[in-house]
């Protein structure tokens, strides 16, 4: 085990990349007394939901549109500075969100360190997989069970104690690059 752990640490340093669930990460709990609100650098718009082709045509009008599937989770905006995750904010009202960095650091698949110089801002969706949702509900009494994964992930991301968030196996799926050293001329170039 020690040999494999040393090898993993060496690879993480060599490639400047580490996931939040890496065993090389220092274990520790972070509990806050409240979530701080912060202003987004870029406005995070709410996505329109359409149920029919007619709704989509009406929404688009004469314009070309980009259509993407919507994950039913909680929108999060991540900021990396010189490869280190420094901030995670909820969408909030689009202008201001809650700082949930302490919980993002324990998301099951989120890189805490990436090989990138400069600022990188991405938006995406925090979700709890249906299989994990079912396992969580099975461990609860009927009165305590959650109605859907969206409600569970929303509360889990916003909890003050990141030990609770870590147990929920929250995953992050990036869908848009908001800032990097690359120039964007088309919206489609920002999609991940």
Catalytic residues, by residue number, are 70
Cβ atoms of residues 175 and 191 within 8 Å? yes
For residues 20 and 27, what is the distance between their CA atoms, to the nearest angstrom? 11
Environment class of 96 (CB within 10 Å of its CB; exposed 0-12, middle 13-18, buried 19+): middle
For residues 151 and 169, what is the distance between their CA atoms, to the nearest angstrom? 14
């Amino acid at each position: 085990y020690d040999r494999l752990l040393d090898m993993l640490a060496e690879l993480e340093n060599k490639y400047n990349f580490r996931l939040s669930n890496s065993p090389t990460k220092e274990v520790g709990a972070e509990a806050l007394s409240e979530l701080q609100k912060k202003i987004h650098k870029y406005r995070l718009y709410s996505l329109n939901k359409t149920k029919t082709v007619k709704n989509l045509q009406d929404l688009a009008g004469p314009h070309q549109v980009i259509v993407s599937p919507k994950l039913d989770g909680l929108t999060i905006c991540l900021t990396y500075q010189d490869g280190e995750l420094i901030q995670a904010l909820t969408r909030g009202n689009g202008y201001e969100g809650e700082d949930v960095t302490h919980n993002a650091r324990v998301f099951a698949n989120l890189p805490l360190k990436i090989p990138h110089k400069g600022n990188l801002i991405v938006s995406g969706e925090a979700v709890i997989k249906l299989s994990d949702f079912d396992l969580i509900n099975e461990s609860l009494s009927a009165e305590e069970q959650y109605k859907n994964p969206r409600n569970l992930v929303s509360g889990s991301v916003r909890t003050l104690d990141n030990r609770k968030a870590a147990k929920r196996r929250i995953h992050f799926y990036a869908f848009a690059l908001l800032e990097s050293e690359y120039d964007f001329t088309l919206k489609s170039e920002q999609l991940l």
